[in-house]
A and B are shown apart, each in its own frame.
Chain A
Amino acid sequence: MIAALKRPPFIGIFAFMLVLLLQGLGHAQMVLQEKIFGEEYVFQSAAIMGVIGMALVYWGVRLNHNENAATWLGFFGGTYIWDGWCEFSYVFYAHHLAVPNLVENGEIVTRAEYLLMPSSIGVLLSTLVFFLFNRETRCNAFRWIHRNLHLPVGKPTLNYQRNISAIVAMETVYIIWFFYLFLLIIYDKQILGDDHWAMYPILFALVVWSVYLLNRLRKFSRLSSAFRYGIPTAIITWNTIEILGRWNIFTEVWIEPQKYTVQVLVILAAFITVAVIFALFPSTEKPDEDDRPTAQPAE
C-alpha cells in the first residue's frame, strides 16, 4: 500500500491536491485576517505576512542544495507574499480611493479591490517579458512559445544552478496573478460578463487544459519536480472552481470560514494529511521528463 503511494500516479496526485487545497485555505486565511485584525491592524498584519513570505524565500535561497526544501519554501513564500503584499495593497487602495464594491441584486459580486486589480495588467505583461526571454527558463509554457512562435532565446548556460526557491515563488505569484486578471477581466460586464455565453467555452477550455496537465503530472516520479508542475496544474484547475462558484453552482465555503468552520477544518486537515504523506516520501534522483533541461536548448 505505502509502496504504491510512492510511485506514479500518486506522487503527482498528492502534489496537485496540496496546491489545490491551499488555494481554498488561502482564501479562508485572507477573510479571517480581515475579521481578526479588523480595519485597524489588518494592513500591518498583511505587511508582516509578506515579510514572512520574503524570509521564507530567502531561507529557500540559502538551502538551494536541498531541492525539496527550496521548492517548499519558495511555494509558501510566494503564497504569503501574494496574500500579504499583493492582495492587501489593493484592499488598502480600494479603501483609500473610496472605490465601492460592485453590487448586483443586493449582493456583492465583485469586491472593490478586485475592481482595481486588473489595472496591473500592464505591469504583469511587461515584467513577463523578462521571464519569457530568459534563456535559462525551464518553464514548459515559455519553451512551447519559443518553439512554436519561432522565438529562440539562445542556449542556456552550462552548469547553471537554478535559484529554485525564488523561481518557485515567482511561478506561484505569476500564475495566480495571471489567472486572477484573466477571470476578473472576463467577469467584467463592460468586457464580457460572467453570464456571457463565452464563459462556457472558457470553462470548457480550462477543464481540457487541466485534464491535459493532470495527465502529464501523473507521470512524475520526483516530489520536487511534481510539486513545481503541480502549481500551474492546480491553479488552472482552480479557475474552473472559481467560475462554478461565480455561477453559484456550489457554495464557496472557504470565503466564509466563520460560517462553515467544520468544512474549512476538514479541508485544513486534508491539507495537513497530504503534506505529511508528501514530506515522508523519499526523493528520487532520476529527473522527470518535463523538468529536465532539454538536450537541445530552446532554439
Chain B
Amino acid sequence: MIAALKRPPFIGAIAFALVFIFTAIGHSVMVLIMDIFGSAQFLTAFMQGLLGTVMIYVGVRYNDNENVATWLGFFGGSWLWAGWVEFSYVYFSRHVGIEPMPLGGGRQQLPEYLLLPSSIGFLFTTLVFFYFNRETRCNAFRWMHKHLHTPVGKPTLNYQRNIATIVAMEKFYITWFFYIVLLLAYDKRIMGAQHPGMYVMFFLFGVWSLYLLNRLRKYTRLPSAFRYAIATALVAWNTVEILGRWRFLKEVWVEPQKYTVQMALIVGAFVTVFVIFALFPSVDTPDKDDARAPQPAE
C-alpha cells in the first residue's frame, strides 16, 4: 500500500491535492486575519509578508536541499501574496474610497478586487523579465519561445537555480495572473459572470486542468511534481472559483467562522497529505518536464 503511494500517479496526485487544498486554506487565513485582528489587520498582514520573505531567504540558504527550498519558496510566495499584496489592495481601496459593487442576492464585489486589476500593467511589465530569461525552465514560457519563434539564447552551463525564489515567484505570478483574468472576466463592463463567454472560459479551464493533470500523474520526484502541481492546481482552482461565482457550490473557505467543521476537515486533509508527502524519500531521476532540455529553447 505504502509502496504504491511512492510511485506515479500518486506522487503527482498528492502534490496536486496539497496545493489545491492550501489555496482554500489561504482564503480562510485572509478572512480570519481581517476578523480577528480588526484594526491591526494591516500590521498583521505586513508581518505575514515579512514572514514570507524570511521563509524564502531560508530557502535560498538551503538551496542544496531541493525539497526544503521548494517548500519554503511555496509557503513564502503564498504569504507574500496574502500578506503584502491582498492587504495593500484592501488598504488602498478604502483609502481612496472605492465602494463595493453589488452583485445581487446580497452579494457584493469587494473594493480590493475592483482595484486589483489595475496592476495588470505591472504584471505584464515584470513578466517581460521572466519571459526573456534564458535560464527559465517554465514549460509555458519554453513552449511560447518555440511556437512564437522568439529564441532567448542558450542557458548557462552548470547554472544552479535559486529554487526558493523561483518557486515563490511561480506561486505568486500564477496567482496574480489568474486573479486578474477572473476579475476582468467578472467585470460586467468587460464581460460579466453570466456572459456566454464564461462558459467557454470554464470549459477551457477544465480541459487545461485535465491536460496538466495528465502530465503531472507521470512525475516520480517530489519537488519537481510539487512545482508542476502549483500551476496545475491553480489552473484547476479557477474552475472552483467560477462554480462558486455561479453559486453551484458553497465556498466554505471564505466563511471559516460559519463552516468551522468543514474547514477543520480541509485543514486536517492538508496536514495528512503533507505528512505523507514529507515521509516520501526523494528519487534522483529527473522528470521529463523538469529536466533541462538537451536542446535549449532556441
Contact = CB atoms under 8 A, between A and B. Distances in A.
A133 interface: yes
Interface in B67-104: 76, 80-81, 83-89, 91-93, 95-98
A157 B156 CA distance: 9
A96 interface: yes
Interface string B106-126: 000000001101111110111
B119 to A, nearest CB: 5
Contacts of B285: none
A269 B57 CA distance: 47
B248 interface: no
A157 B63 CA distance: 14
A93 B86 CA distance: 18
Contacts of A124: 122
Contacts of B128: 54, 57, 81, 166, 169-170
A120 B118 CA distance: 9
Interface string A168-193: 01100100010000000000001000
B87 A166 contact: no
Contacts, number: 151
B168 interface: yes
Interface in B161-194: 162, 164-165, 168-169, 172, 176, 189
B interface residue count range (under 10 / 10 to 19 / 20 to 34 / 35 or more): 35 or more
A278 interface: no
Contacts of B84: 121-123, 125-126
A271 interface: no
A64 B153 contact: yes
B53 interface: yes
Contacts of B168: 129-130
Interface stretch (A9-17, A83-91, A194-202, A224-232): A83-91
Given A97-B114, A160-B159, A116 B92 contact: yes
A122 B86 contact: yes
B60 A154 contact: yes
A134 interface: yes
Nearest to A177: B122
Given A61-B132, A87-B121, A126 B85 contact: yes
Interface of A: 50, 54, 57-58, 61-62, 64, 81-82, 85-90, 92-93, 96-97, 99, 115-116, 118-127, 129-130, 133-135, 151-154, 157-161, 163, 165-167, 169-170, 173, 177, 190
Given A119-B118, A125-B84, 4 more contacts: A58-B132, A126-B52, A129-B52, A129-B165
